[in-house]
Amino acid sequence: MLKWVADLHIHTLLSPCAAVEMTPRHIVLKAAAHGVNLIAITDHNVSANVLPAVRLGQEHGVAVWPGMEVETREGGHMVVLFDSLRKMLAFQKLLDENMSGLKNNPERFGGQFVVDENDRFVREEERLLLAAVNLDAGALAAYAARLGGVCVASHIDRPAYSLLTYFGFIPPGLGLAAVELSGAGLRAGGEQKYAALTGGLPCITNSDAHVMDDFLGGPKNHIYMKEPVIGEFKLALAAAGGRMVAAGKFL
């Protein structure tokens, strides 16, 4: 079994709330330099900066999972993870068909930039990404599962953009693989505190980084699995066959 130091919730400068320093190259190089060998790029509702991160990860020994952080129709956030660009693009097509249709206001919300693996500007995303898509959490989780992906309820210990806040508990049929706690929430005993409200779903923790200091100082997971694929991750969440997830680790 191999140990993967994993941060599965990282934003690039494509997310309007992220700093321009959060380029795919900068993230991957910092991950490689600090021993983080599994990351996921999870911008809001889109995935255009995933491809350069995947390419750079292959060069620098960092496994990069395609993903995104989706705002569901309920207003909660959910991290969606794949281990295949093809599967992620199929999921992106569904989101594109169900976006709000609103235009971004860069002066109010921030710019939304697509770049290549050398940090060169490609285009600016004009759609407003900080908006809910017209799909509920159950439908999104079901479609991701059909594609071989997994969904994680984002930062359930926060009052804003939390599925737990919306529902009051995590419905057992929602189809989530895990829930995410912030580092502070995990240290405060959140895994036990929220167990009854989440149906005993496993907890992971990530940096949810929007600036580089958050990535470097934020919580990570130690995932023990044979290879960095979603199937192995599911087994690790279930603590099957010697696999496991140890959340709340720091660099």
Rounded (to 5) percent helix, strand, coil in the chain? 30, 25, 45
Burial class, 216, CB count within 10 angstroms (exposed 0-12 / middle 13-18 / buried 19+) = middle
Tokens of 84: 């295949």
Are 111 and 124 in contact, with CB atoms under 8 Å apart? yes
C-beta separation of 56 from 25 below 8 A: yes
The model carries a pTM of 0.98
The segments of the chain whose pLDDT lies below 70 read none
Quick one: DSSP state of residue 117? Answer: T
* Domain layout of the chain by residue ranges: 2-249
Residue count (the chain): 251
pLDDT for 69 equals 98
102 residue type, one letter: L
List, for residues 172-182, the tens digit of each pLDDT value: 999 999 999 99
* 178-181/113-115 β-pairing: unpaired
Going by C-alpha positions, the residue among 229, 235, 247 that lies closest to residue 87 is: 229
Distance of alpha carbon 214 from its chain centroid, rounded?
A: 14
What CATH superfamily classification does 2-249 receive?
Metal-dependent hydrolases (3.20.20.140)
- Give the C-alpha separation, 234 to 172, whole Å: 17
Residue by residue, DSSP assigns 4-72 as EEEEEEE--TTSTTS-TT--HHHHHHHHHHTT--EEEEEEES--TTHHHHHHHHHHHT-EEEEEEEEE-
